[in-house]
Chain A
Amino acid sequence: MLNDPSFIQLLKQGNGNAFTQLVEAYQHMVFNTVLSIVQQYEEAEDVSQEVFVQVYQSIKYFRGDAKLSTWMYRIAVTKALDWERKKKSKKRVNVLKNLIGIGTKEEEAVTDFHHPGIELSNKENAAVLFKALQQLPENQRLAFVLIKSEGLSYAEVSDILKTSVKSIEGLMHRAKENLRNSLQNYYSE
């Protein structure tokens, strides 16, 4: 129903009820995807809002080449990565300011991220895995998160990341290898 051309037409016309239905249907998908990337609960809600604002403003450009959910996954991933880049550049500016003595000493508390959807028995291990995920190259991390956290197939992830299934297989293989190495170091310490 959400992929119906008539529904998409309503969205393009700015129909409020259609947009409410869209938010209702996709809010958890967007939140879970963003949360698994940014790994901060409050920030994930804020980024999710940005995703839906972008959807609201850009729906008129949606051509229907991909499924609506694929298009929304793309926006969610892009917004989450944008947030990460901004956070990193803010961190660099703060380091620089502190070096020349004009910065405010804002110390970020490093806390483990606990995803609310993880079983209690896996909580500690999952926190270690999420930390290790932050060390992975962007595309490997995205493939891993979308497959593991959202339960998507390789084909679906290849649509979202606009690449072939073969390269998603390669990304997953390298992601697991890198994670294994990183965990090896972590547990050997």
Chain B
Amino acid sequence: MNTSIQDKIDATLNSLDNMRRAEMPPFFQTRLMARIENIQQNNSSWLPVRKPALLIALLLLCIAMNVGLLESTLSNKKQSEHDNKSSIENFSQEYNLSVQSPY
């Protein structure tokens, strides 16, 4: 029994002896050259970033920056309007000015 197992093991270990090299499937060269051409075309594309995840992240960042800029501009505008109004009021109070309508 043991000898038979040992024989099987030896036969299995030697089963790759005298094996032939596997041959590449036909027309490999054609498929390879098409792949290389494809890579070259992609490399010369105008877009510097090709990973979709990275593109989406960049787009979101751009939108976030624009929203932030818009918000800060709007709040600055409100603040300056408010400041402007209160400074006129202060000025008129300080000099006891009141505009009275002639009518």
| Chain A residues near B (Cβ < 8 Å) | 20, 23-24, 27-32, 35-36, 44-45, 48-49, 52-53, 56, 115-119, 122, 125-126, 128-129, 132, 148-150, 176, 179-180, 183-184, 187-188
CB-defined contacts of A117 to chain B, threshold 8 Å: 19-22
CB-defined contacts of B32 to chain A, threshold 8 Å: 23, 49, 52-53
| Complex interface: stretch among B4-12, B48-56, B57-65, B84-92 | B4-12
Number of chain B residues whose Cβ lies closer than 8 Å to a Cβ of chain A: 24
CA gap between A14 and B22 in the complex, in Å: 29
CB-defined contacts of A188 to chain B, threshold 8 Å: 5
A32, A128, A148, A179: the one contacting B22 at CB < 8 Å is A32
| Chain B residues near A (Cβ < 8 Å) | 5, 8-9, 11-13, 15-25, 28-29, 31-32, 35-36, 39
Q: Would A28 and B35 count as touching, CB distance under 8 A?
A: no
CB-defined contacts of A180 to chain B, threshold 8 Å: 9, 13
CB-defined contacts of A45 to chain B, threshold 8 Å: 24-25, 28, 31
CA gap between A117 and B15 in the complex, in Å: 11
CA gap between A56 and B36 in the complex, in Å: 8
CA gap between A150 and B16 in the complex, in Å: 10
Q: Would B5 and A184 count as touching, CB distance under 8 A?
A: yes
CB-defined contacts of B28 to chain A, threshold 8 Å: 23, 27, 31, 45, 48-49
Q: Would A118 and B16 count as touching, CB distance under 8 A?
A: yes
Q: Would B29 and A27 count as touching, CB distance under 8 A?
A: yes
Given known A49-B32, A53-B39, contact A28–B21 (CB-CB < 8 A): yes
